Amino acid sequence: MNKKSIIGIVALWIFAAAVVCLSIFVTKDKAPEEPTEPTTSEVQTTKKAEPQPTGLAAIDVFFNKYTNNYVRGEDTTPPLMLVTNSMTLKVGTERIPNPSICLDDRDREVTITYEGTYDLNTVGSYNLTRIATDSAGNSTRNNFTLKVVEEVPKVEDVKLAPLPLADAIARYKTSDNIDVGIDVSRWQGDIDWAKVKEAGVSFVYMRLGIQEKFRGERYLDRNFVQYFKDAKAAGLEVGVYFYTCATCKEDALEDVKFIYNVLTENNYKPDLPIAFDWESWAGVTDAKLSLKDLWEAYDIYEGAFKAVGFETCLYQSKNYLVNGCWNIKDTTNIWLAQYYKEPTYDGKFFMWQCSNTGVVPGIQGDCDIDIRYK
């Protein structure tokens, strides 16, 4: 090894030693890194999800949310008045009664006045105009003839011809997507559910309970618990309905809780939508409720039951569906009541009550017959 080679090797060792010393010095003087705060997303991923309310708590949550979201705008809609063009009263009647159905979209009471002259103490015929006015000044007018007579003739009830179940099945079950069923309450008495099933009935709606009059108490149908148990044992699909007189959303909330408690206490799960059965049209004008009250009552049924896993439907006759009594939405399941050979309602409906004089094996007396479209 010559002198130049030795000098090169020594120089390389000196350079390497200098690099090592420098790296040690820099590492020693470097401040330790501060720990970083976790990001918002990291915190969120580690945070446990809050449990969602269930049962009655879920029902209350929906109700409170629904109530707090209501927005009131300008009132430009006149009252709804469903009346005939004539009225007959016995001579000596003290006053002209309010029309059976006169409801405002917002006001719970409307002012009803009359134009024209008449004398309730004198037999005769009088041409009058009935005027219904709400608090915003919107009004509806109806021309009618008032007849004052010595005796008001009796109106005989018209009973439809009996419809044997076999005829209903032959007439309406035209495909596998159509089922024939019945609806019952305690008035049907003892039912032989095996015979009902064998006769071709696919499903049954049964009354769970009833609210007695406007703002009245709620009662369980005395046959409901046994009906439900026996109908399921016979292999029928089961739905339930509640005959309600709800006059506001708070009233409807009590209905919902009553129904929910009955179902959960008996461990019953209906196969079909829970039906809101509102039929108290006679005297509704004097019941002091608005159309908004009715609409909100069904909204509470639909939303509150959805919160606990149930579907709902609105049971109603064609007359009240087409004349503005209900706020029908895309989500509203309609159970149509119309006693014709074929339904004439143009809206959507999933079930049709076609007769209240059905003759069904296993049931004594008349029974409602229903056609369901799947």
Residues 258-273: tens digit of each pLDDT: 999 999 999 999 999 9
Q: Is the same domain home to 138 and 278?
A: no
Residue 156 in domain: no
Q: Is the same domain home to 172 and 296?
A: yes
Which H or E element spans position 126? strand 124-133
Which H or E element spans position 132? strand 124-133
pLDDT at 70: 65
What global pTM score does this model have?
A: 0.84
Question: Closest Cα to residue 314, out of 347, 344, 363, 362?
Answer: 347
How far is Cα 111 from Cα 130, in angstroms, rounded to an integer?
A: 10
Q: Concatenated DSSP letters for 135-149?
A: TTS-EEEEEEEEEEE
Residue 262 in domain: yes
* Residue 188 CB burial class (10 angstroms; 0-12, 13-18, ≥19): buried
Q: Which of 88, 123, 149 is the last residue of a domain?
A: 149
Residue 372 predicted with pLDDT over 90: yes
Q: Is the same domain home to 275 and 181?
A: yes
Residue 348 predicted with pLDDT over 50: yes
pLDDT at 73: 79
Residue 347 in domain: yes
**50 against 169, higher pLDDT:** 169
Q: Is the same domain home to 208 and 272?
A: yes
Q: Is the same domain home to 261 and 291?
A: yes
> How many distinct structural domains can be found in the chain?
2
pLDDT at 220: 98
Domain that holds residue 131: 80-149
pLDDT at 50: 74
Tokens 């229903």 — which residue? Answer: 370
Q: What type of residue sits at position 296?
A: E
Q: Is the same domain home to 124 and 183?
A: no
How far is Cα 334 from Cα 100, in angstroms, rounded to an integer?
A: 24
How far is Cα 224 from Cα 46, in angstroms, rounded to an integer?
A: 48
Q: Stretch 136-153: mean pLDDT, rounded? A: 97
DSSP strands (E only) in 270-362 = 274-278, 312-317, 334-337, 351-359
pLDDT tens string 58-106: 999 998 998 887 667 789 999 999 999 999 999 999 999 999 899 999 9
pLDDT tens string 283-310: 899 899 999 999 999 999 999 999 999 9
145: domain CATH number is 2.60.40.10
